[in-house]
Structure 1
Amino acid sequence: MGKYALELNGVTKQYKDFKLDSISFTVPQGSIVGLIGENGAGKSTTINAILGLIVTEQGKISVFNGKDVNAETKEHIGVVFDGSNYPDNLTPKKLGKVFQNIYAEWNNKKYFELLNKFELPINKKLKEFSKGMNMKYSIAVALSHNSKLLILDEATSGLDPIIRDDILEMFLDFIQDEEHSILVSSHITSDLEKIADYIVFIHGGKVLFSKPKDELLENYGIIKCNSTQFNEIDKSDIISYRKLDYEYQVLVSNRRQVEQKYPKTMIVPASIDEIMLMYVKGDK
């Protein structure tokens, strides 16, 4: 049996106009799992449920191989939201003293090393930080209290490509310890293509798939064809399709088999962005 940093089983939350509908997926220990989906799909609601910020009606959430999410296990969960979640009238230097009293395993040396690495001024109030600076600050805090699981909601949002790349490298370094794991939601799917081991796709409050990233990129493809060729495609091969002005685009999950089956059609690999777009905007 595999070891899991995080398990969701049938998690359900009903709102007036939205339902998180029986969400189930896992974050294997030592892996990075990318959570994707359009705005309003349920990504942030799922993260809020994991952290106990909302009360769910059904399902079970456990961390670190079956433990409940409580004050003890939260000590080892580092969280980064899209935006600052710390008192913005304080400086990093003063907040460091606050965190020493909050986290049992706070590492002050590592905290200041990360602030220096990110070139963050320790005596400047957070309200004077840019969005990118606030994001880097949140990541520094998350990595400074012996976190074993990082939960990141749009953590690379608002950062320039160079800093973003540095942070992705830090995430890859973090999971070199096989007890460390990351769940990261992101609209920047190219980042997930670089670092994720698995992709969980949420749409309309449901998990459409949870698959290894390499399997998605190796197996999925898009057929580009005319109407005559489209009509010849076996409907069981089609996940979804879009009719554009001059062609049909057809998403398939078995690219190499389809290449042999329809040798006259053009088939190209599908990026995670394209897979998501075809699922959301394509016809079934």
Structure 2
Amino acid sequence: MDALTVSHLEKRYPSFHLRDVSFRVQPGRIMGFIGRNGAGKTTTLKSILNLVHPDSGAVQFFGLDMPAHEFAIKQRTACIFGAANYYPQSALKTIAAVYRRFYPTWDEPLYQSYLQRFGLDPNKKIRQLSQGMSIKFALTLALSHHAELLILDEPTSGLDPVSRDELLHIFEDIVDREGASIFFSTHITSDLDKNADNITYIQNGHIIASGDKDAFVASYRKVEGRSEDLPPALKERIIGLHERKGEFSGLLRAADAAGANGLAVTPADLESIMVCTERG
């Protein structure tokens, strides 16, 4: 049974339209949700969590309909929108004491073990935490009630490379050791190159791809060379063609790469795919 299934979700605003959004998050998998700023990632997350009311479509968590089973669903999920956003003058232990009251599945020994593992001092105040430590505290709260699905909005944004890498390893460990699923939005595609199992790509409020990350990346090739060596027929098929000073670069579908004789053809990555796709 999927951890999350979204079917034909629609949400219309005066200046933005979330259109026919459908995807699924499988159990025990890390799903990256990519798209440029303003593409609809946060709107999608808020819609599936019933923080804003979608105009149409269906959302299921663990086979349960949202919002009909909203309370039961939110007992089994955890949502983190950026760093922990609690009262800045409150101590971690005070926040945890309030938080645990909402979850019958709260596991105090597990909570203490994550505090120790992440190097969190329960006597510290929220305002004393760095952004990275604040996210670790939010994860500690989520994992301590045995959340089966973690939904994260831009969790690595603003972190330095070392902190981002550490957080990505934590995600892997959560999936491998705890058996949870993770669905996180990001525009830092290099993070997904490291540990995502699946990706869902949204552009202008519409899903343009969703599935296995490796298969998605393998379906494209980067191509570059001298503009004078680029056959007109091949030029028409290049995605995101960029030309400067007699040189060109762009993206090809893997099936079209066979016709790129004499040109430099190399494996694509998520960043090159996203940049070229958005370039058009």
Q: TM-score over 0.5 for the alignment?
A: yes
Give the residue type in structure 1 aligned to 2:249. Answer: Q
Q: Choose the corresponding residue for 1:32, options 20, 30, 33.
A: 30
Who is 2:130 aligned against?
A: 130
| Structure 1 contact 30–177 (Cα < 8 Å) conserved | no
State the one-letter code of the partner of 1:110. L
**Number of equivalent positions:** 278
Give the one of 252, 266, 269 matched to 1:268: 266
Gap regions ≥5 residues in structure 2: none
After TM superposition, give the deviation of residue 249 of structure 1 in Å: 1.9
Q: 1:260, 1:23 → 2: CA distance?
A: 33
Name the CA distance, whole Å, in 2 between partners of 1:142 and 1:104.
13
Quick one: distance in 2 between partners of 1:107 and 1:156? 26
Deviation at 1:220, TM superposition (A): 1.3
Residue matched to 2:21: 23
Q: Where does structure 1 lack aligned partners over 5 or more consecutive residues?
A: none
Deviation at 1:235, TM superposition (A): 6.2
Range with bigger deviation, 171-180 or 36-45: 171-180
Deviates most, 108-117 or 234-243: 234-243
Q: Does 1:121 align with 2:121?
A: yes
Residue number in structure 2 paired with 1:192: 192
What TM-score, normalized by structure 1, do the two folds share?
A: 0.90
Q: For residues 123 and 25 of structure 1, do their structure 2 counterparts lie closer, same or farther at Cα, with a shift above 3 Å needed? A: same
Q: Distance in 1 between matches of 2:96 and 2:203?
A: 39
Partner residue in 1 for 2:74 = 74
Q: Secondary structure at the match of 2:24?
A: strand
For 2:4 and 2:145, the matched residues in 1 are separated by 19
Provide the C-alpha distance between the structure 2 equivalents of 1:244 and 1:7, rounded to a whole number of angstroms.
44
2-side partners of 1:9 and 1:245: how far apart? 46
The alignment status of 1:225 with 2:234, answered yes or no, reads no
Q: TM-score, normalised by structure 2?
A: 0.91
CA contact (8 A) 1:9 1:22 kept: yes
SS at match of 2:145: coil
Q: Distance in 1 between matches of 2:188 and 2:264?
A: 27
> Over residues 147-201 of structure 1, what are the superposed CA-to-partner deviations in whole Å (9 max), with x where a residue is unaligned?
0001011112233333333322222122226952110112221111111111111
For 1:67 and 1:178, how far apart are their aligned partners in 2? 24
In angstroms, what is the RMSD of aligned CA positions? 2.0
Q: 1:262 to 1:160 in 2, by over 3 A?
A: closer
Once the two structures are superposed, residues 26-79 of structure 1 have per-residue CA deviations (whole angstroms, 9 ceiling, x without a partner) of 111121110011111111111111111001101111111344350111111111
How many Å separate the matches in 1 of 2:65 and 2:179?
15
In 2, the alpha carbon distance for the partners of 1:268 and 1:107 equals 49
- Residue 113 of structure 1 and its aligned partner are, at CA, apart by 1.9
CA contact 1:77–1:149 (8 Å) conserved in 2: yes
